[in-house]
Amino acid sequence: MMEVLYEDNHIIAVNKTCNEIVQSDKTGDTPLSEIVKAYIKEKYNKPGEVFLGVTHRLDRPTSGVVLFARTSKALTRLNEMFKSHEQIRKTYWAIVQGCPKVPEARLENWLTRNEQLNKSFIAKPGAKESKLAILSYKSLVRGEHYTLLEINLETGRHHQIRCQLAAIGCPVKGDLKYGAKRSNPDGGICLHARKIEFIHPVSKEYICITAPVPDDALWRALTQEIQ
């Protein structure tokens, strides 16, 4: 059952699971965008085609809040806001193996992307076809084997969080591609788009949308005191 987190005449936000894709891809699986369209069509008894604009994406194994536009006006404005990386604040939670040596830090790395492997790699500063990736993290809860981190992005690079955390020796739990010891039973990774904050593209009101964490024993254990 799809979990709607926020909805008005211009935008709608849902809590994506780690098994869903935001847009159509080569797998042929039904994307979240089509599921949201069907929900809108049924709820509002809309005739004909339902408009829905994809404003950003999450990797398939990642869960959390995804924001869609319900009108062309909202889509145009949100696209501009997402491009700036300053008008929209995205906060992620990640469960990582081990514990970072420094509990709170700002990471700057140059990343290169390998399209064939669908993977990003740390590169030398200014290397050809590399892009600067910046994020800040802080440790929220430390468990026996895993640590819950809160991450804020300053850039939006391919697999940025996954690559940069792996580079400090703390791969995201379940992320085999970036060095995790084993996969998760559900096939996802413990990276969750926890919160998104922005000024509404039409009403100009401040909007903060928070996505509950996955219904999983480890997520519950590490977040029970801070939810």
Q: For 4-14, how does the pLDDT look when each residue is reduced to its tens digit (9 = 90+)?
A: 999 999 999 99
| Parallel/antiparallel/unpaired status of strands 206-210 and 11-16 | unpaired
Write the pLDDT tens digit of every residue in 97-108.
999 999 999 999
Could you confirm whether 29 is annotated as catalytic? no
In angstroms, the CA 166 to CA 215 distance is 25
What residue segments make up the domains of the chain, in order of their start?
Answer: 3-223
In angstroms, the CA 28 to CA 21 distance is 10
- Beta-strand ranges (E) seen in the chain are 3-7, 11-16, 53-54, 63-69, 88-97, 104-114, 119-123, 131-142, 146-153, 191-199, 206-210
pTM: 0.95
Write the pLDDT tens digit of every residue in 134-145.
999 999 999 999
Q: 3-223: which CATH topology?
A: Pseudouridine synthase (3.30.2350)
Active-site position among 8, 25, 59, 186: 59
